[in-house]
Amino acid sequence: MNDGHDEFLDALESGDGYYLECTDGHGSLPPRVVCPHCGDRDLTETALPDTGSIDSYTVVHVPTPAFADEAPYVTAVADFGPVRLTGRVLADEESVEIGDEVSASVGGADESRSVVFEPR
Amino acid sequence: MIDPRVAGVGLTHFGSHPARTSRDLFAEAGLAALDDAGVDPADVEGVFYGNFMGEIAEHQGHQGPLMAEAIGVDAPATRYESACASSGAALRQAVQNVRNGEADVLVVGGAERMTNLDTAETTEALAIAADDLYEVRAGLTFPGAYALMAAAYFDEYGGEREDLAEIAVKNHANAVGNEHAQFQREITVEDALDAPMVADPLGLYDACPITDGASAAVLVSESYADEHDLDAGVAVTGTGQGGDKMALHDRDALAHTPAASDAADEAFADAGIGTEDVDVAEVHDCFTIAEVLALEGMGFFDAGEGIRAAAEGVTTRDGDLPVNLSGGLKAKGHPVGATGVSQLAELTKLLRGDHHNSEHVSDARVGVAHNAGGTVASATVHVLEIQE
Ligand SMILES: [Zn+2]
């Protein structure tokens, strides 16, 4: 159990993803009480844009034990405007390109739940 | 403010020593440093020790006192942890302590035991240097994180796997003759390009190996060196440290390492030097792309220009700026907590003239060490100068 992170994944899983927005418009991920970009303590949960674009990706061939059955798999950083997310891309490695549009959801179960991206 | 002198340095062989404990490794390096310095262990006032994953690798926390004991020193000892920059951070604290007059004689160093774990276990252990909730759980590994940086670099500035291979070839060539190095053999560009993928675009030869080893150095005040007639002509004249957001996705850009820029700016200003004054550098090439990011981050090359430095011979041992004459993390090996002080040891020997590659930098007077933690959320830079 990880307060803040669990609720973030619950919301993302049910299609109501959000990020934390400061009064200057910077985005970050919970749990946080301070904007990591400017120090603002006034953070509000703001709807995550439906579509992000892949900033960079890698095909992981040598995984940690938790992903032993998944490799090779694609992990990417995707830009959702005010906030970026890291997640596995649920697509064939050959088909992924920088700039591809993706939506964010949740993969895995229980303690291994994490952000995943699906091509749009 | 008087700069501390490097009175002595010591290293174990870096390589696969799965049955050796970190206390055993550090004892070898620490005693070698004390012997090299000619300093009585009874004079040592503190031990500043770097280690990253001791709890995971050998179920051992609280390693500071254990390491002081291992080298016969009865003095306060503290472990510093900043992932792969652990002993760079320890070094910085020791430098500041000698400078501000708190101590005249300190031992600084680090150790890591890694090869007693299998590859999957080591991959998991190294991954904890990243953000667990938002990076590791999403499948990101340590090589994977640097692969994201490499792919972003290629996308922004261009560059190919062949350019990275040239860096591996250079560093392997530099390690030939280094008795402490894990790989004392040359490789070719083809070897690197043909190696299995670890995390695309990084292959096995873009990655540093998994390594056991330890490093140590004895830092003394100028007055102590004079009183004891020590042969300690190399001084640490600049120290700097930078930090950044932990997760790559919280940074402004994936292909830049501003923590290294901040550390270098601080260290160079501290020493009163510029990039043009630097004769030789040891930089944190945990992956080939990391050497590029380090050199650009510290200002030796403009962004996008560092990728060709090895291929064009600028950073080879007879180039204008020889980089990683030790073999770097790539060929010398990367016992995580030992790496920062091992760079200090290599540079000290290069400046003193008793390094296996000294002949290539016989006039060198200024050396720079760059040590990075995680995906460079931590970085330290130190400047060493000959000061007879
Ligand atoms: Zn803000």
Distances (CA, A) of B78 to B65, B110, B165: 7, 11, 38
Interface test with A, best of B249, B256, B293 (most A CBs within 10 A): B249
Whole-number Å distance between alpha carbons of B162 and B192: 8
How far apart CA A83 and CA A77 sit, in angstroms, is: 10
Q: Quote the tokens at residue B144.
A: 């994977």
Residue A95 CA from chain centroid, whole number: 20
Q: Is B13 a catalytic residue?
A: no
Confidence of residue A110 (pLDDT cuts 50, 70, 90): confident
Neighbours of ion ligand 1 (CB under 5 A): A 22, 24, 26, 35, 37-38, 40
Instruction: Indicate the pLDDT class of residue A116, thresholds 50, 70 and 90.
Output: very high
- Phi, psi torsion values for A51, nearest 5 degrees: -125, 135
Neighbouring-strand partners of residue A27: A21
Q: Per the CB < 8 Å rule, is B155 touching A2?
A: no
Residue A14 is classified by DSSP as T
How far off is chain B from A27, nearest CA to CA, in Å?
9
Query: Which parts of chain B sit beneath pLDDT 70?
Result: 1, 388
Judge if pTM exceeds 0.80: yes
The answer to whether B84 is a known catalytic residue is yes
Task: Indicate which of A26, A29, A48, A61 best probes the interface with B, i.e. most B CBs within 10 Å of its own CB.
Answer: A61
Map A31-86 to HEC letters: CCCCCCCCCCCCCEEEECCCCEEEEEEEEECCCCHHHCCCCCEEEEEEECCCCEEE
**Pick from B134, B151, B196: CB nearest A56:** B151
Position A112 pLDDT exceeds 90: no
Phi, psi at residue B324, to the nearest 5°?
60, 55
B224's enclosing H/E stretch is helix B222-227
Distance CA(B325)–CA(B323), nearest Å, equals: 6
Distance CA B98, CA A27 (A): 42
Q: How many angstroms does the Cα of residue A22 sit away from the middle of ligand 1? A: 5
Joined together, the tokens standing for residue B162 give 């062949």
- Comparing C-alpha atoms, which of A92, A57, A89, A77 is closest to residue B250? A77
Output the pLDDT for position A64. 87
Half-sphere exposure of A34 (CA within 13 A, CB side): 4
CA distances from A38 to A8, B255, B318 (A): 22, 22, 45
- From the number of C-beta atoms within 10 Å of its C-beta (0-12, 13-18, 19+), residue B157 rates as middle
β partners of residue B242: B379
Work out the average pLDDT over A74-96: 97
pLDDT in tens, A64-84: 888 989 999 999 999 999 999
**C-alpha dist (Å) from residue A114 to A8, A62, B210, B245, B379:** 10, 19, 28, 20, 29
A63 with B123: Cβ contact below 8 A: yes
Judge contact between A62 and B118, C-beta under 8 A.
no
Comparing CA positions, the residue from B346, B232, B215 lying closest to residue B280 is: B346
**Looking at this predicted complex, what is its ipTM?**
0.97
The length of chain B in residues reads 388
In A, minimum Cα distance to B123 occurs at A64
B360: DSSP letter: G
First to last CA, chain A: 31
User: In this predicted structure, what is the pLDDT of residue B210?
Assistant: 97
Mean pLDDT, all residues of chain A: 96
The whole-number pLDDT of residue A109 equals 82
